[in-house]
Amino acid sequence: MRLFPRFLNGAGQLYVGLVLAFLYLPIFIMVLMSFNASPFYQLPIDWSAGWYTALAGNSQLIAATWNSVTIALTTTAIATLLGTAASLALYRYRFRGKKLLQALLFPPIAIPWLITGTAMLIFFFAVGIGRGLHAILLGHVALALPYVIVVVSARLQTFAPELEEAARSLGASQWQVTRRVTLPWIAPGVIAGALFAFAVSFDQFVVSYFLSTPGQTTLPVEIYAAIRKGFTPEINAVSTIIIVLSMTLMLLTARYFRFGGEK
pLDDT in tens, 109-140: 788 888 888 888 898 888 888 888 889 999 99
- By three-state DSSP, how is residue 80 classified? helix
Q: How many C-beta neighbours within 10 Å does residue 186 have?
A: 26
In the prediction, which pLDDT does 263 show? 45
Q: What is the 3-state secondary structure (H, E, C) of 115-179?
A: HHHHHHHHHHHHCCCCCCHHHHHHHHHHHHHHHHHHHHHHHHCCCCHHHHHHHHHCCCCHHHHHH
* Omega cis (within 30) before 44: yes
pLDDT at res. 3: 65
Q: Which has more pLDDT, 95 or 84?
A: 84
Quote the percentage of the chain above a pLDDT of 90. 8
State the CATH number of the domain containing residue 202. Answer: 1.10.3720.10
What is the separation, in whole angstroms, between the first and last Cα of the chain? 45
Q: Categorize the per-residue pLDDT at 196 as very low, low, confident or very high, splitting at 50, 70 and 90.
A: confident
For residue 233, pLDDT over 60 is answered with: yes
Position 77 scores a pLDDT of 93
Q: Tell me the pLDDT band of 106, cut-offs 50, 70 and 90.
A: confident
Which pLDDT tens digit goes with each residue over 30-53?
Answer: 888 888 877 776 777 778 777 788
Instruction: Note the pLDDT of residue 74.
Output: 94
What is the residue-averaged pLDDT of the chain?
Answer: 81
Across the range 2-7, mean pLDDT stands at 66
> Is the whole model's pTM more than 0.85, yes or no?
no
Kindly report, residue by residue over 215-229, the tens digit of the pLDDT: 788 888 888 887 777
Give the chain's domain count.
1
Q: What percent of the chain has pLDDT over 70?
A: 91
172-185 tens-digit pLDDT? 777 777 777 777 87
Q: What is the pLDDT of residues 141-176, one digit of tens each?
A: 988 998 999 888 888 888 777 777 777 777 777 777
**The pLDDT of residue 258:** 58
Q: What is the DSSP letter of 94?
A: -
Instruction: Check residue 80 and give its pLDDT.
Output: 93
Residues making up the chain, counted from first to last: 263
Q: Is the confidence at residue 259, as pLDDT, over 60? A: no
pLDDT tens digit sequence for 198-207? 988 988 888 8
Q: Around 53, how many Cα atoms within 13 Å sit in the side-chain half-sphere?
A: 6
What is the span of the domain harbouring residue 86?
A: 52-256
DSSP 8-state class, residue 261: S
